[in-house]
């Protein structure tokens, strides 16, 4: 395989989805990619709730919307709700830091795996961090002490044309000490 | 491309490296993959210092070692030091959360892109979060208010044989609400 950069370039945040449902086996491949992700001390501090049931989906969508943000989520065929679970770190590490010190980084890694696995399968995605967390706790019966970090939107894009990516230049974000 | 899961399966944390240096163009491809990663409000809250200079590399390695942890880093040919930079979020988002709320997740996403780009190019990697951050601030002249989150080890593995991955089963980390 010599086209990981092409896969990365093809992944973009999609805010307009086709109504076509997402095949369960494709969602399972996304989750398998997350399952195999690395994490601090292999702690795997993650749990994924896949929401495709129409009535529940509509409520999850509403919980991501406020102040004019995320109106597009009404049309998302599948959500993956990402929670931060207790991280079992090694005792030597715990002597110097909190159990959750690396958990958000680990969730980011797993999220990247999901989004890239989606792209590879012709799906599109959008990572949403803006939400009414309390409402989602109640809706999905998630324990209060379990932070809900991200809602991943997954589906087929209504439009296949990619936008140019706006990013800082490499020289703005890197230094070589060689 | 239909083998992203194979790429994910091939990425493993490597703690024994060959002394062969890493080609600059391969490091640049890793960084390009990170550059194109998604982030909250496209804030790109990251900076990457690539350390390959032997004397400096040795000091970075020492700064990741204590209490018997990370002894292997002496043999790492290239480090990528990942810092968390100020995240410019939109005003609507900032009204409800801190500028850095999503930054660690974003660093995790960029880190995943780097490690997978390394794997695709025949390189191995290890994500290190255990470090003497103060020592690294001084060594690399990184401003005190800029958190150093991760040190990525990059190089050719001394041994090509993959270990079986130990992970929770999919049923332990997922629920389908469909």
- Condensed to tens digits (0 to 9), the pLDDT of residues B41-93 reads 999 999 999 999 999 999 999 999 999 999 999 999 999 999 999 999 999 99
Asked if the structure places residue A155 within a domain, the reply is yes
- State the alpha helices, DSSP H only, in B21-64: 24-35, 54-63
CA dihedral for B73, A85, B82, B84, sign (positive or negative): negative
Q: Please list every residue in chain B whose beta carbon sits closer than 8 Å to the beta carbon of residue A175.
A: 47-50
Q: Which among B107, B108, B170 has CB closest to A31?
A: B170
What CATH number does residue A41 fall under? 3.40.109.10
The angle at the Cα of B154, spanning B20 to A176, to the nearest 5 degrees, equals 90
Mean pLDDT of A54-74: 97
Q: Which among A35, A96, A109 has CB closest to B173?
A: A35
**Complex ipTM > 0.95:** yes
- For chain B, first and last CA: distance in Å? 29
Asked if the structure places residue B178 within a domain, the reply is no
Nearest-CA distance B173 → chain A (Å): 5
CA dihedral for B69, B71, B75, B78, sign (positive or negative): positive
Asked if the structure places residue A26 within a domain, the reply is yes
Q: Is the pLDDT of residue A145 over 90?
A: yes
- Total tally of structural domains belonging to chain A: 1
Consecutive H or E run containing A50: strand A46-51
> What is the predicted pLDDT for the residue at A2?
54
Question: What digits encode the pLDDT tens for the residues A114-131?
Answer: 999 999 999 999 999 999
Q: Is the pLDDT of residue B2 over 80?
A: no
Please tell me whether residue B17 adopts helix, strand or coil conformation: strand
How far apart are alpha carbons B33 and B36 in whole angstroms?
A: 5
DSSP B59-74: HHHHHT-BTTB-GGGG
Q: Which among B32, B49, B95 has CB closest to A177?
A: B49
Mean pLDDT over all residues of chain B? Answer: 97
Query: CB–CB of B120 and A4 under 8 A?
Result: yes
Task: Indicate the pairing of strand A124-128 with strand B78-84.
Answer: unpaired
Asked if the structure places residue A178 within a domain, the reply is no
* Domain housing B114: 4-173
Tell me how far CA of residue B8 lies from CA of A3, A163, B26, B121, B164, in angstroms. Answer: 14, 26, 18, 13, 13
């Amino acid at each position: 395989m010599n086209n990981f950069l092409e896969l990365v370039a093809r992944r973009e945040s999609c805010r307009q989805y086709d109504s076509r449902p997402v095949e369960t086996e494709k969602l399972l491949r996304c989750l398998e990619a997350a399952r195999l992700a690395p994490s601090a001390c292999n702690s795997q501090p993650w749990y994924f709730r896949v929401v495709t049931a129409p009535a529940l989906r509509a409520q999850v969508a509403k919980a991501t919307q406020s102040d004019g943000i995320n109106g597009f989520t009404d049309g998302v065929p599948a959500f993956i709700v990402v929670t931060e679970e207790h991280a079992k770190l090694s005792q030597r590490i715990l002597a110097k830091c909190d159990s959750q010190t690396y958990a958000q980084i680990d969730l980011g890694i797993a999220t990247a795996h999901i989004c890239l696995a989606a792209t590879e399968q012709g799906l599109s995605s959008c990572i949403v961090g803006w939400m009414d967390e309390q409402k989602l706790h109640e809706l999905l019966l998630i324990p209060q002490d379990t932070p809900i970090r991200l809602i991943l939107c997954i589906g087929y894009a209504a439009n296949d044309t990619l936008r140019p990516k706006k990013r800082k230049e490499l020289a703005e974000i890197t230094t070589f000490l060689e």
